[in-house]
Structure 1
Amino acid sequence: MTLPRIAMPARLSDAEGADARVGLANAIFDDVAELVRAEDLDVVVVRTADLTGFDGLVLPGGGDVDPTRYGGDSAAPVYDVNPAQDALDLDILAAAVERGIPVLGVCRGLQVVNVAFGGTLIEDLPASDVGHAAASDGCGGLEWAWHDVDVAADSRLRDVVGATRIRVASGHHQAIDRLGTGLVATAVADDGIVEAVEHSDAPVLAVQWHPEAEGTPAALAAAPFAAFADLVHARLAAPAIG
């Protein structure tokens, strides 16, 4: 049986000698890919925006989107701003939306989705009662920030998680400010930060947290990918037009 082909844009920043967060993003790229494969989907790492022959797109984590892409503050404390990465991620997302190809975004992927639909980002989250940023574990690694989110009724996410409140692993210092056109918040943290979105018309969903983080229950880790797989299979099963 031929599995649906899912594009994942490569991470273009070299983690050697860079910010530890770059190394983490590169390391967990494979973990995200494994969760896609667990849904009987074939992952192909790509370096162009050509989606010919693809059935879905997954936008993984990574560095910050250039603030100039959304009218933000170019002097803000951002990290790993990579124009080539922004161009690849935004161009391939535009191609997917144009073709009606399902999209799943994870962490940076959610931020890319929001910017692509005309939304803006908080360049650097202020302190709140909810921890979002990962911290050093003292051994050269990072520890996730764990917190609860409320999941909206009548959302694809709610359908797969089967709960109104879940605990997730975060590792981000940016977040959605103004929602992009057509995007609906489907999960929100206690401090009001949007933690998941879906598009009202396009087959697009994204989560701000890291479902691949160690310690996430298996069913919860799989949930966003299961919702994405449902979109992929629904598109493949739909009758051809024309």
Structure 2
Amino acid sequence: MPGPGPARRTDAAVLPVAAEGRGQDLLRGGRLGAAVVPYGRQTRHDVVGQPSQALRLGVHDVDAEQDAFDLAVARHAPASGLPLPAVCRGLQVVNVALGGTLRQDMGGEEAGRRHRVHRVALATGSVIAKAMAGARATARATATAAAGPPEAAGEADKVEVSCYLHQCLDRLGDGLAVTGRAADGTVAALELPGRRAWFTAVQWHPEDTAASDAGQQGLFDALVEASRGRVS
């Protein structure tokens, strides 16, 4: 789970699994309730099949061992039924693991790496939209203060998110469905319809605002609920 705060609020235990050592054995040993492909360094250029662009577009700070492990997790979890959320870079890793590609740069130093808070439109009825909307509805219903005016039509599926971007999706991986986009068309959320495994991927950092935004916390709550019963 990215960061301890959201996990504490869901009463979940978090076990960091490193790429080295027993990570692969633990992943395949049936002792995990869920796995997470987290945010982190940029994805290695040769992994995404675009080595000629790497130096020109500023791809740096990569970790080959972590890339290999995260790609293994991204392939194993959906196939085995293990619940899997992917966060920021994690969304990109899953896309590559399923045969997709990445756009190596979103517009240079200023446009690509700065912190941005922006709006994302989610597909109505998607797993992500339901998790976020349900959590917000519960928070409003239990609040002691007035909830304020109702949301305008369609606004319930538009969410404000915190992100740090340099790379983004280009060609979509096999089986993936786009369930969220930023205003400029950038893919911001992915799901795997028809798979038995619970899966969400978001191109933002829900842990940044989960303490104050019930919708972002709802993504972590939904993961914990999906993982119940997998381990004793």
State the alpha-carbon separation in 2 of the partners of residues 70 and 185 from structure 1: 19
Equivalent residue in structure 1 for 2:5, among 27, 30, 34: 34
Aligned to 2:39: 61
**Contact preservation (8 Å) 1:186, 1:196:** yes
Name stretches of at least 5 consecutive residues in structure 2 with no aligned partner.
134-155
Deviation at residue 214 of structure 1 after TM alignment? 4.9
Aligned to 2:24: 49
What displacement does 1:183 show?
0.8
Query: Is 1:223 aligned with 2:201?
Result: no
Q: Which moved more, 1:196-205 or 1:210-219?
A: 210-219
Q: CA deviation at 1:59?
A: 1.5
TM-score (norm 1): 0.73
Contact 1:49 1:95 in 2 (8 A): no
What SS does the aligned partner of 1:87 have?
A: helix
Change (3 A) 1:96 1:147: same
Q: Distance in 1 between matches of 2:164 and 2:100?
A: 21
**Residues 152-191 of structure 1 mapped to structure 2, 5 A cutoff:** 152-162=123-133, 163-191=156-184
**Structure 1 residue 187, shift from structure 2 partner:** 0.9
By percentage of residues, which structure has more helix? 2
Using the alignment, how far apart are the partners of 1:103 and 1:157 within structure 2? 13
Out of 116, 130, 146, the position equivalent to 1:145 is 116
**1:113 maps to 2:108:** no
Query: Quick check: which one's strand share is greater?
Result: 1
Deviations 1:124-164 (A, max 9, x none): 0137xxx97453xxxxxxxx311111010120111122221
Mapped to 2, the partners of 1:111 and 1:221 lie a distance apart of 19
What is the CA RMSD across the aligned residues, in angstroms?
2.3
Structure 1 match to 2:202: 207
Task: Judge conservation of contact 2:6–2:210 (CA < 8 Å) in 1.
Answer: no
Contact (CA 8 Å) 2:132, 2:218: kept in 1 or not? yes
Q: Structure 1: which 5+ runs fail to align?
A: 1-7, 9-28, 136-143, 238-242
Relative contact order (alpha carbons < 8 A, sep ≥ 6): 1 or 2 greater? 2
Q: Percent identity?
A: 37
Deviation at 1:88, TM superposition (A): 1.4
Contact 1:110 1:208 (8 Å CA) reproduced = yes
Amino acid paired to 1:63: R
Contact kept in structure 2, 1:105 and 1:207, CA below 8 Å: yes
**Is the Cα–Cα contact under 8 Å of residues 198 and 206 in structure 1 kept in the other structure?**
yes
Per-residue deviation, 1:98: 3.4
Q: How many residues align?
A: 196
1:94 and 2:75 correspond: yes
Counterpart secondary structure, 1:197: strand
